[in-house]
Chain A
Amino acid sequence: MWPMNRCRILVADDEPGIVDIARANLEGHGFAVVEAYDGEEALQKVRAERPDLVVLDILMPGLDGWAVLERIEADPELSGIPVIMLTARVSDEDVLRGLESGAVEYMTKPFYPEDLVAAVKINLHVFDPHLRQQHRRLLAEKRRRLMASRGQKS
């Protein structure tokens, strides 16, 4: 547990309250929290501090969450960092986009802080290339389900 507790989580949200809440909860579980309040800052800190996981809001001034995610995934050095989206955007479209773009989890606001902590823990546990592969398959399955449900809707 120990090394896990030393993990650093970057929380990026333009809403200071969210960052505050995330920090209180993650720190309560022994994670170190790096704060960012907009996209630029988030990307800069991902590069500089190489957090173990990124919790990313979408709607932020300047560079938005999508852009940040894209760049992380596009950068071979950064693409290994799991990104959890935490956003008020709740449409299926956005969820799908997030997962397709490489996010490991897509959480919508309002959220239970425990869920966030659980998601972070799960994603750090599977910080193993093999297991991660497995996890990706599960994600793909989830994506298909989403696609199917969308197809039915239209």
Chain B
Amino acid sequence: MPRTQYGPQYDPTTVSVGVDGASQGGAALEVRCPDGSPSIPDDVMELLSPLLMSLSRAVDGAAVAIILPRSLSGGSSEGAGPAVLCALQPELSLRGLGELIAEASTEIHRSASSMADGAQLPLYLPIPSLSGFQRAGVPVWAISLDGEDSAALLLMDGADGPISPRRASLVDGFARAIAAGLKAILRQRRRERASGALLEVVRTAGSTLQLEEVLSLVTENTGRLVGADRCSLWLLDKDGSTLLPSALSGMSPDFVRQWKQYPLSLESEPLSKEAIETGKPVLVANAADDPRTDKDAVRFFGDKTILVLPVVAKGQVQGTLYINHVTEHHRYSMEEIETAMAIANQAAIAIQNARLYREVEEWNSQLERLQAIMSKLSRSKSVSSIANIVADELRNLIRYDNCRVFVLQEDTNELVPLAVVSSSRDYWIERMEDLQIQVGQGVTGWVAQHGVPQIVGDVERDPRAYHVPGTPVLDESMIAAPINFEGRVIGVITLSRLGLNQFTVDELRLLDVFANEAAIEFENARLYQETQKKSRELLASFHRVGDALATGLEPNQTLQIIVDLAAEMVKAKGCALMLLDEGSGELVFRAARGLPVDVGQVDRAQAGRGVSWQVVKEGAPRLISDLAAVERPSWLRQGAEELRSYLGVPLTMQGQVAGVLSVFGNRVDQFSQADVELLSSFAHQAAIAIRNASLFTSLQERVRELTGLAEVSRSIAKLTDLDDTYRELTKSIAQLLQAESCMLLLLGEDGRLLPQHPAFGFSQEELEEVKLRIVDRASSSATKGCPIRSVDGLQVACDGEWRRQPALLAPLRAQDRLIGAVLVSERPGSRFNENDLRLLTILSTNAAVIVQNAILYQSVDRERDELDAIISNTSDAIIIFDQEKRVIRINAAAEALTSWRSDEVVGRSCVETLFCLPGDPGRRKPAVSMLDVIDKREPSPYFETVIVTKDSLERDVAASYSFVRSATRGESLGVVIARDISKLREVDRMKSDFVSMVSHELRTPLGLIKGYASTLLNPQLSLDQPTVQRFLMGIDGAADRLARLIENVLNVSRIESGLLKISPQQVDLTHLVSVAVSTARASSKGREIQLHAPRRAIKVEGDRVQLELVLDNLLGNAIKYSPMEKPIRVELRKRPTEAEIRVIDHGIGIAAQHLPRVFDKFYRVEGGQSRRTPGSGLGLYICRNIIEAHGGRIWAESRLGEGSTFVVVLPLRQREGSERAADREAGQGVEEVVADE
């Protein structure tokens, strides 16, 4: 049925929504009464509207209304809820009726609720506001809804007198129908609520691990579910004998705090006992009469119904849950009980989890507290200094004239003032400082006793006041707050001001809060002091023990000290310390004295039944007065016969027996009960010492690990080779994390992570595969920059197969930039933990820096190598020097140019070495000297100069001079780049020499021709015939010379262009040589030229003209370069396969260094003779080429000043060789002088 807004004429707060009943000629209204009551749920409205409409019709259109209980609308509180009003008589003012019902609803509902079951219906309620109806009261039908609540059905027919029985039974029937419908809805509602509560418990229990929270959730939800007044949860303590009050709902927080301080013995709680033993709910329907209930408690709380549920998780009883109904008896449905059980079971699991969590947390917090104490110790913070800080800090919060901070001395139950701070002289601090207040004495003592903060307007007149003797009476007011720690009062803070009623409640509250916050500080300090005190006490009794144990932190040493001390303490003959091995569960000797056992030996023989084992099992000392009474353990049989008595005490660590300390006496009945206690106390201390030692060892290991890490980082950072770096880095990381493999992935330009070779545990091929398999996934995770645990694992190749391996991946960040990631995979059978992840994070930070550096170094290195290679291999000489002109570097070309070796000049001044020009007057002075250039200190892009080599040779160079700014040296370096142009220069010189020579050589014959011809043509000169003849011959000869010269030049150009041709013909060398000698003799005006040659013809294959040219050249040279009077000798010899011609002179000779070059083109021996001796520098060059074209050789042998010998060797004709062999057979003496003029 659609619900519509009824109309604007209705006050929305009272009558807001109507049910459109127009089709049936009426309307149903929802009346929100009293004000602010919840609206009627749809299902209720859907049930009621047609029923009421029908009822109205049945009662002739009279108005009917039903006032619903608040609980039906989902409200948690009780009382009247909204009502539904319905009338089919249009003349009735629904609005007016609605307002009336709204006013009277609470009263009507209360009346209806109080009607006993089976009361006569209808009930006529005298409701004044409805007195408009002329009747003693309004007929009301009470509709009881399953004991939970009631609704009231009203009939407003405006009639007078009692309602007719017919109409009454009619309405009665409707009332029953409505009741049935509403009950069904309520049941539905309850089911929903129960499952909602269950869900809530399950959800929240899963979401929190805080025990307190879990507990209060359980009690609140369960209580709400069954509409209980109180719900409490009791947890069993560890030994299962005591019920600890743990959570309570439905009471004030103050009450709960008090309540929690009273645990109950399980024995005294038969209800819990029954519930725990049966594992079933226990229902007490009538608490006052039930024999199982605690009557005092029932009276105190006014309990009527009690339901006790066992809280059981995984078969383990956690405690019991009490659900108490106080205001009325509650009839539990089975459904409710089951739901409550379900909640209790869920709660049990959550409680178990939370307990476990709390245990872990407690252990952690104990450690933390210890650490805090230690840190306070290091800052020498004592309780009193904290008290002073508290007093100081309070000054900033609350103005006071006097502040006192007390702590509770638990043993004496006294409050000891730790800080007294006064800003007024009226307070006699000296006296107060010594004042100790008993708990319960004065206001301060009262606060300590009750744990409740107090504000006192007039201290002196307070009944609890305790006046400190000897102090003046003051008008003062004070506030005092207890310092609570974990539900205990550990101290009190009081603030006083002069004057009455000075403090406000807000200030008290502030002090209370502050005191609670300070509590932790106090507790820590107190714990520390206690620890100190205890250790002082222990030191007093065992001061040697303390001393010895405090110094030895090395575990084995500590154990030995313990054994020694224990033995001395009880004057034992032998002593042994055995510890349970965590892995094997065996009892192992860890230290011994005076016993025939070895450290590491296992007490196995007794298989857990020996004396030591019994101590372990019982966790209690064991004294055996005479060992004869028991079976001796195997290790006590041999070599220990004199041991007669035994005392063993357990070593307990963290509540667990971890080992046994045993002493042996050589007398029966040697150890007394005092010894037992002494040794027990000692064992307690020893256990702490052992634990400290092992903690210290693990700490040391950690330090070693970190030190190792640092060293690894340092040593790797020194590596400059990238491969080495990666290899060592991945190896080190893998070792530190005990990983199977480790690889570095670097971020490529495409944003992907690429594995780097080498990596630990991977071959290069595997790395390639890895790239394909995992990298995409890893990239996306690691590029976000947080370390991850690979859930899927890394696929690792192993023997060609791929398997998944869980792995850790940590990003590598260098200077806030992601450069890659490091990936480590687990060793089979071991798991990475959070520690590993943390360590990897640290490692990756270092690794990032190392990798970054290595990459940078390598790129710099590579660039430098490239540059180096360029400098080294360039053909130009490069010389680099600093500002002091000290040579920094020269390249190979510079070494070759200067003949200086790099190691000879580096570090020396280049002025003294490379660029040195010896002051030799004979040397050329270059137009520009190197020193001039580099002294100017400005770049010179090109200049030509001369460098003198180390062995004093001059080299023409073309050079440039520039500066290079050196970042590493921080100065600019001079760079000279030089190229040897000596050869070019020489060729230049040779060419120009050649030109002048050719011109001279041309001019000479030309001059002759000109001169002869001019003379002949001069008519003034009367020349005789012989002269004319001579002149004409002169012209002829000069023309020949000219022709020869031209021939020479042509020959050179032929040689150059490869056109030198020999026309092979048989040439008789003997003849050729003798002709050449004759010609030379003729032209040299009587020079003595000796010829030694065989008579027989020596035949070679060759070009006659060219060979003639060679001989003419050689003879010409010999004549030219030797004085007139020295004879020239020509020898011709026949060798087995060759003919040899030697032209020997005794002239100026050729220096050794020129010898190899005299056959070069244009080469003329410099200095001395050459300048004054005509010659084109072509003759020998042509000779060499001609002889070589003949397959022969030509060379010169000479000594300076003694003459030269030019040797030509030509191969014989084949046939000639065999003739020669025949000649040899015929006899010697073929060779003889042919001519010697």
Contact = CB atoms under 8 A, between A and B. Distances in A.
Interface stretch (A11-19, A44-52, A131-139): A11-19
B168 interface: no
A108 B229 CA distance: 149
A110 B1020 contact: no
B1029 to A, nearest CB: 12
B753 to A, nearest CB: 72
Contacts of A111: 1007, 1010-1011
Nearest to A89: B1000
B1174 A59 contact: yes
B1008 A15 contact: yes
Contacts of A37: 1085
B1038 A88 contact: no
Contact of B1008 (A17, A58, A108): A17
Given A61-B1120, A112-B1010, A15 B1004 contact: yes
A24 to B, nearest CB: 5
B1023 interface: yes
B1031 A60 contact: no
A64 B1172 CA distance: 7
B1011 A21 contact: yes
B interface secondary structure, majority: helix
Interface string B954-981: 0000000000000000000000000000
A18 to B, nearest CB: 6
A18 B1020 CA distance: 19
Interface in A1-49: 15-18, 20-22, 24-25, 28-29, 37-38
Contacts of B1020: 28-29
Contact of A17 (B1012, B1014, B1174): B1012
A28 B1038 contact: no
A28 B1022 CA distance: 7
B460 to A, nearest CB: 128
Interface residues of A, number: 30
A141 interface: no
A114 interface: yes
A90 interface: yes
B1085 A110 contact: no
B1173 A109 contact: no
A8 B41 CA distance: 164
Contacts of B629: none
A91 B1085 contact: no
B120 interface: no
A87 B205 CA distance: 129
B1007 A109 contact: yes
Contacts of A114: 1014, 1018
B618 to A, nearest CB: 123
Nearest to B1038: A17
Contacts of A60: 1172
Given A17-B1037, A25-B1021, A112 B1031 contact: no
A62 interface: yes
Contact of B1018 (A25, A61, A62, A89): A25
Interface string A86-101: 0011110000000000
A113 interface: yes
B789 to A, nearest CB: 87
B1007 A110 contact: yes
Given A28-B1018, A111-B1011, A59 B1031 contact: no
Contacts of A59: 1000, 1172-1174
B1006 interface: yes
Contacts of B504: none
Given A59-B1173, A61-B1173, A110 B1027 contact: no
Interface string B255-278: 000000000000000000000000
Given A109-B1006, A109-B1007, A21 B1173 contact: no
A154 to B, nearest CB: 12
A54 B587 CA distance: 134
Nearest to B1121: A61
B158 interface: no
A24 B1027 contact: yes
Given A21-B1034, A24-B1015, A28-B1022, 4 more contacts: A61-B1172, A88-B1000, A109-B1006, A113-B1014
- Of all A-B residue pairs in the complex, the 7 with the closest CB atoms, nearest first, are A109-B1007, A28-B1021, A21-B1011, A110-B1010, A110-B1007, A88-B1003, A64-B1172
17 contacts: A15-B1004, A18-B1011, A21-B1012, A22-B1011, A24-B1021, A88-B1000, A88-B1003, A88-B1007, A91-B996, A109-B1004, A109-B1007, A111-B1010, A111-B1011, A112-B1014, A113-B1011, A113-B1014, A113-B1018
